Structure formats: structure tokens, C-alpha cells
Amino acid sequence: MKFLLYFLKLVRKNILSRAVIILVGVVVFLLFILEFSKYSSSVNKARYTKKRPDEDLEQYLIFVGGIPRSGTTLMRKMLESHPDIRCGPETHVIPWLLKDHYEWTTSTKEFVRLVEAGVAPHALDNAMAKFILSIIVHHGPPAKYLCNKDPYSLQATTYLHGLFPNSKFILMLRDGRASAHSVISKGITVGNWNIKSYRDVLMHWNDEINNMYKECLTSGPKVCLPVHYEKLVLQPVATTKKIFNFLGIPWCKEVLHHEDHANETKLSAYELSTDQVKKPLYLEGLTKWFGKIPPDVERDMAFIAPMLKILGYNPEERRPKYGEPDDFVLKKLNI
């Protein structure tokens, strides 16, 4: 302050030339900018540098998801038949929370507010991870491996993998025509789907499985495994061995007899597949949709649901053959 007063006194007495005054002013301005940059950088670094996650957030988790009526409950029950795995019923809370997070972070206005408050991204991510983990851990008995089956959670596979980097994801795939028929015939409410219209349901199916499939592929084959429902019920031995190899968990024959373990795990009365998974593997679900889809929808199928072809289904084939049952299924069903 004394230096500044002395400097102003010299200026009034015209002792310093105008050029020197300008030079000094430039130097002072540059020093101010430099100090402000250092301060801003330190604040941002403290606020946004990602801290090492808590050890409990690095634990191994299994996430199972897919479009409703695509075999997610069957997959969950087969996993849970393994003595070291516990999944439990759908939580419903986790996909709702992930949807809220998506809305917060994709709204520029809201995200800027969260960033300015020091909440986003890392404080929010840490809170999300701990909340999700707490739900998974505490809504069932302890087990060596924990899994979560909330079908729509896999719309956020890449985000969940960021929260839980050691986790694995199983995306259930099923012929969209079979899923659509199951939804419509059972009157299952799914979001804003018009469950009186095959066209509308198939268009929603296409959009949502497209997103989930992209999320799975983006995460990579070591993180996310697509599993076709048809292969799971027709060739369960080879398919489950592939799944457990992906998970890095020893396979055991108990997973082929999920119906024998129905009383050992909690089944929710609010999940419409509960009654079906109490039974052995059955093949009727593969063909129940045959002849049920309106002719105009069948005619436009390739346009309505282009994901069918991408996932390996023929949209032009009205009675597709999904493959031959393996010896285990033939013996189980006395075929």
C-alpha cells in the first residue's frame, strides 16, 4: 500500500513519464492475472479432481438387465441357484435414481448449478455409488457375490461401470416380437408404451434395446455380455458355462435346476415372471407369439424394429426357428 501511495505521488509530480506508467500498469495487470489463474486452478483441482473411490465401491457386482419380458428374471434365478451368488428381487429404486441422474446431468442449466455448488460430478457420483451399493447389499442376505436385477439399469451400463469398475453386466436379448406379445397379452404396463398396439410396443422396444445394446458394446466384451434368451432356454448348458466363464465364477450344475431352489431365494409377487421361473425350463414362450401379430405390423416389421436384424433375428420370418434343444433340455422335457 505504501508503495502504491509513493507511486501515485511521483505521478502527480510528473517525475515518471507516461510510458513508464503504462509499463508498470501492464506488469501489475499480468501479475494479477497470474495470481488469479493459480487460485482458480487450485480451486478447480480441489473441487473436481477425482478421488480414489472407497474400497467398498471397488467390490465385484453383477448387473442383469434388458427389456421387460426378455428373460431377466430367469437369468437372475439361474445365477442365484449358484451357492455363492445372491441377487434378490427388483429394487425399482436403482433405475429411478439413474433416470434422475441422467436428467440432472443432461440438463445444461441443472448441471451448471451442480458444478457451481461443487456437487457435480464427483461428489454426486460418490453419493450415487454408495446409495446403490447400500441398496444391493442390504436388501438381501450376504453372499460372496452380489448381483442386481433391475431391467432398466442397463440403460446406464457405462455410467454404472464408472461407479463400480470391477463389475460385470449381463444384457438379456429376446426376439422383440415375443417380448411385445408377452407385454400385450399379459397387460403389463411399461412406461408410456401403448400396450394395446403391437406397432407402438415394438417401436418402443426397438428404441430402448438400441440404447441398451449400444451401452453394452461401448463398455466392451470384458465388461458386458449380451445373452440371447432363446439360447439360454434351448442350450442352457453351453450358454450358462459361457456366462460363468465371463463372470469369472466357477460353473456348477445347480444353475441348470433353478426350479429346485425356488424356496431358497426371495421371489417378489409383483414380478410377473415369478410363477414361470418356479418351473423348469420350458419352450412354449419361444412360439407363443406366432400368428398373433397384426398383418400390417408384420408387413412393416423391418421398418418398425430394425434392431431385430442387428440382434440376429429375421424380421421377415414369421415363424423363426431359434435352434435345436441340447441333450439336457431333451431329457428334461422328455422330448
Positions marked active-site: 90
What cell numbers appear for 48 in the block? Answer: 473436481
Instruction: Map residue 224 onto helix, strand or coil.
Output: strand
End-to-end CA distance of the chain: 97
Whether 183 contacts 63, CB under 8 Å: no
Residue (of 220, 223, 244) closest to 232 by Cα position = 244
- Tell which phi-psi region holds residue 252, choosing left (phi > 0), alpha (psi between -120 and 50) or beta: beta
Whether 81 contacts 254, CB under 8 Å: yes
Cα 333 from Cα 335, distance rounded (Å) = 5
| Amino acid at position 312, single letter | G
Angle (CA) 319 322 327, round 5°: 135
Whether the ω angle into residue 68 lies within 30 degrees of 0, i.e. cis, is no
